[in-house]
Amino acid sequence: MTKVAGSATARAHSNIAFVKYWGNRDQGLRLPANASISMNLADLHTTTAVEWNSGLDADTLTINGAIANETARMRVENHLDTLRARFETDRFARVDSRNNFPMGTGIASSASAFAALTTAACAALNTTVSERELSILSRLGSGSAARSIPPGFVEWHAGDSHETSYAETFAPADHWKLVDLIAIVSREHKRIGSSAGHETASSSIFQPARVASAAERIASVKTAIVGRDFESFAETVEADSNLMHAVMMTSKPPLFYWEPLSLAIMEGVRRWRQDDKLMVCYTLDAGPNVHCICADGDADAVAIRLRDLCGEIDILRSGVGRGAHVLPTD
Amino acid sequence: MTKVAGSATARAHSNIAFVKYWGNRDQGLRLPANASISMNLADLHTTTAVEWNSGLDADTLTINGAIANETARMRVENHLDTLRARFETDRFARVDSRNNFPMGTGIASSASAFAALTTAACAALNTTVSERELSILSRLGSGSAARSIPPGFVEWHAGDSHETSYAETFAPADHWKLVDLIAIVSREHKRIGSSAGHETASSSIFQPARVASAAERIASVKTAIVGRDFESFAETVEADSNLMHAVMMTSKPPLFYWEPLSLAIMEGVRRWRQDDKLMVCYTLDAGPNVHCICADGDADAVAIRLRDLCGEIDILRSGVGRGAHVLPTD
């Protein structure tokens, strides 16, 4: 195994939030309005190779083998500028990023993408960077990327400054065998992306109450996860998702991410839990896809019901994932 | 035209709220948490005959020709008890109530029912009761019945006491030719009725902000109606409906009244207004049916689109209605 100086490859996983991040107290630093909780998704990941190369006169970016569009390249270049300033280098980078999950499914790739990019870029500089600093640096690229750095079940501390806003593990990946079944309700591109959406959060008269009560839900979900108490977990996770979407729908202008099928699945999930006694609950990010979080033993039964309810839609499945990590070089 | 002493028949119209009533500051007196705005619906009404009869040893109630169930009879009896106390009579009453709109369509009948009952019962006592007192008395039977007493476009002042919580007209019925197209999404009986729902309102962390900001929406909708400014009207009416449903969905336990088709119609209405420049907006009460409020000239175009979107559902149609009134005896 030979290490090529100046290059490294890292992998980071997507994550699904149980207490949501919506709105920033500082837009530029991506300091979130409230703390959030998530788990990494083992089976959805981004693998990114970074090569700092003194022969380049600009950063280059390929995504899934194709040259990225200018919007994506600029966002990566901005992030690399941050890393260049932090680690005092003036070299440009060649970045190659690949997702193992289909593009355009509405599954957020920015979390895994910026966590993998940051981890690979730092490793390629041969610097020693703590998990905490990797989380902080990833946050600057995409808020929820902070949560894709540590393994397993993660809390992103809101913090009150750049240095204090980072994520850390509170339970390892093997602590509780949860499964995320993601019903792909729509492959359409989001009309309003998360970054723009965060800016609208404060236009809802409900956002202050959501933010003020987040600490209570953080404590409740952590306790439920640590104690593997599915009933309590389900109640708070669904309530938190409803609170975020209520804020979205009451923003100016209102943001409606739910589609009719999303609503039908949410209703189904509540019924399957109450009537069929299945351990399943729902949560939705800034899109129409429904994440059905199941206890491992009930995931197959939930998948069958999802298929009955939805017909021929895609359903992705993932267990709990590890943190961002550098891959061995060939 | 001979007047039979001790009996009278009155008619009252259903109403649709543009700024919603949800939650009480006093449950017993039905003093609402916030003021509300509505218009009466000309084509949806209840006609009620009341006969105070010294030969009866209990109140009797028929609805649409059939003997009413005990729950309905008790609610009417309670209301008649209030009227007996107020007007110092100990006679019982024979009550016959008929709706001209189909039962079980999720169209609230309690507003028109208690407004018609109160109006007929007072007329049958040969007392002179002001519109204001009729509104106050009707409120005790069903909160929104207060709004079915005055004609046209109505504001229900929240008030801070029994005497100060009543509705009055701020624009006559012929001021603005609005049409309500009601898409009957479901005929199922509401799982949680309005009266029980009002009690859950305070369990949402969002209710205080909704209530605190209601005065602003009241002012905005009144100004829009008085100035016949459909764009401004539509924005506030939809926002207010979204706010109420956000409170419902974040109550404990959460109340979801929207069905998948409700969501599809709401999305359609926004699109027809924005892309097709039709004057239409939506509002939903505590049920899945969607009230599409249209400018008169655009109602046919909206009805066609509703039909295309929804297939073979019922669509009720109504213009702006008059207030509760005593009908001439045969």
The model's pLDDT over A114-127, given as tens digits with 9 standing for 90+, comes to: 999 999 999 999 98
Cβ atoms < 10 Å from Cβ of B91: 16
Whether the per-residue pLDDT at A104 is higher than 90: the answer is: no
Tell which residue, B32, B50, B42, has the closest CA to residue B12: B42
Residue A192 clears pLDDT 90, i.e. is over it: no
CA–CA dist A79, A134 (Å, integer) = 13
What ipTM did this prediction achieve? 0.92
CA atoms within 13 A on the CB side of A182: 24
Cα of first residue to Cα of last residue in chain A, in angstroms, is: 6
DSSP-assigned letters across all residues of B87-147: HT---EEEEEEEESS-TTSS---HHHHHHHHHHHHHHHTT----HHHHHHHHHHH-GGGGG
List of chain B residues whose C-beta atoms are within 8 Å of the C-beta of residue A239: 250, 252, 254
Residue type, A143: G
B142-196 tens-digit pLDDT: 999 999 999 999 999 999 999 999 999 999 999 999 999 999 998 776 667 777 8
Give all strands (DSSP E) within A175-299, no chain letters.
Answer: 178-184, 280-283, 290-295
Q: What band does B272 get if pLDDT is binned at 50, 70 and 90?
A: very high
Decide: B246 and A249 in contact? Cβ < 8 Å. Answer: yes
Decide if pLDDT at B2 tops 50. Answer: no
Chain B CA closest to residue A211: B205
Examine the pLDDT at B283 and tell me if it is beyond 60.
Answer: yes
The CATH architecture annotation of domain A178-318 reads 2-Layer Sandwich (3.30)
Q: Residue A3 has what pLDDT?
A: 46
* Of A238, A246, A260, Cβ closest to residue B206: A246
| Secondary element (H or E) of residue A9 | strand A7-19
In the CATH scheme, what architecture does the domain A6-173 have? 2-Layer Sandwich (3.30)
pLDDT band, residue A187 (cuts 50/70/90): confident
Comparing CB atoms, the residue among A213, A256, A258 nearest residue B205 is: A213
Inter-chain residue contact B206 with A206, CB threshold 8 Å? yes
Q: Could you give the CA distance from residue A229 to residue A281 in angstroms, rounded to a whole number?
A: 13
- A65 token code pair: 């083998």
- Contact B232/A at CB under 8 A: no
A192 touches chain B (CB under 8 A): no
Taking each helix axis from N to C end, the angle separating B70-87 and B131-141, rounded to the nearest 10 degrees, works out to 140
3-class state of residue B182 by DSSP: strand
Among residues of chain A, what percentage have pLDDT more than 70? 96
Distance from CA of B210 to the nearest CA of A (A): 8
Least confident of A222-226, B4-8, B30-34: B4-8
**What is the crossing angle of helices A110-124 and A70-87, to 10°?**
40
Asked if A191 reaches chain B (Cβ–Cβ under 8 Å), the answer is no
Label residues B262-284 b or e (16+ Cβ within 10 Å = b): bbbbbbbbbebbeeeebbbbbbb
DSSP codes joined into one string, A119-159: HHHHHHTT----HHHHHHHHHHH-GGGGGGSS-SEEEE---
CA–CA distance, A111 with A118 (Å, rounded to integer): 11
- State the Cα–Cα distance between residues B114 and B92, nearest whole angstrom: 17
List the single residue in B with minimal CA-CA distance to A248: B246
Would the pLDDT of B99 be above 50? yes
Whether residues B250 and A242 touch (CB distance < 8 A) is answered with yes
Q: Which A residues 153-172 touch B at CB under 8 Å?
A: none
Residues in chain A: 330
Report yes or no: B261 at the A interface, CB cutoff 8 Å: yes
Give residue A195's pLDDT band: very low, low, confident or very high (50, 70, 90). confident
Give the model's pLDDT for residue A17: 98
Find the radius of gyration of the CA atoms of chain A: 19
Region A210-236: mean pLDDT is 98
Within 10 Å of residue B81's Cβ, how many Cβ atoms?
11
pLDDT digits (tens, 9 = 90+) for A286-304: 999 999 999 999 999 999 9
Q: Where are the domains of chain A?
A: 6-173, 178-318
A263 to chain B nearest CA, in Å?
6
Q: Looking at residue B319, what is its pLDDT? A: 98
Q: What pLDDT digit, counting tens, does each position of B192-214 carry?
A: 777 788 999 999 999 999 999 99
The yes-or-no verdict on residue B5 having pLDDT over 70 is no
Place of tokens 């029912």: B113
Percent of chain A surpassing pLDDT 90: 90
Cβ of A232 under 8 Å from any chain B Cβ? no
The least confident of A129-133, B69-73, B184-188, B266-270 is B184-188
B68: helix, coil or strand? coil
Average pLDDT for residues A36-61, to the nearest whole number? 97
Report the pLDDT value the prediction gives residue B106, as an integer from 0 to 100: 66
Asked if B243 lies within 8 A of A250 by C-beta distance, the reply is yes
Residue A5 confidence (pLDDT) above 80: no
Do B169 and B151 meet the contact criterion of CB atoms below 8 Å apart?
yes
**Mean pLDDT for all residues in chain A:** 94
Both structure tokens of B45: 């009404």
Q: How far is B207 from chain A (nearest CA, A)?
A: 9
Mean pLDDT of chain B: 94
Query: What is the predicted pLDDT for the residue at A1?
Result: 37
Q: What share of chain A is helix, strand, coil (3-state, %, to 5)?
A: 40, 25, 35
Alpha-carbon span A223 to A229, nearest angstrom: 8
Residue A2 pLDDT: 41
Average pLDDT of span A247-251 = 97
CA dihedral B233, B237, B238, B241 (to 10 degrees): 180
Question: Containing H/E element for B73?
Answer: helix B70-87
**Burial letters A74-107, b for 16+ CB under 10 A, else e:** ebbbebbeebbebeebebbbbbbbbbebeeebbb
Instruction: With beta carbons less than 8 A apart as the criterion, state whether B187 and B150 touch.
Output: no
Q: Write out the DSSP string of B212-223.
A: HTHHHHHHHHHH
Is the model's pLDDT at A186 over the cut of 60? yes
* pLDDT of residue B250 exceeding 90: yes
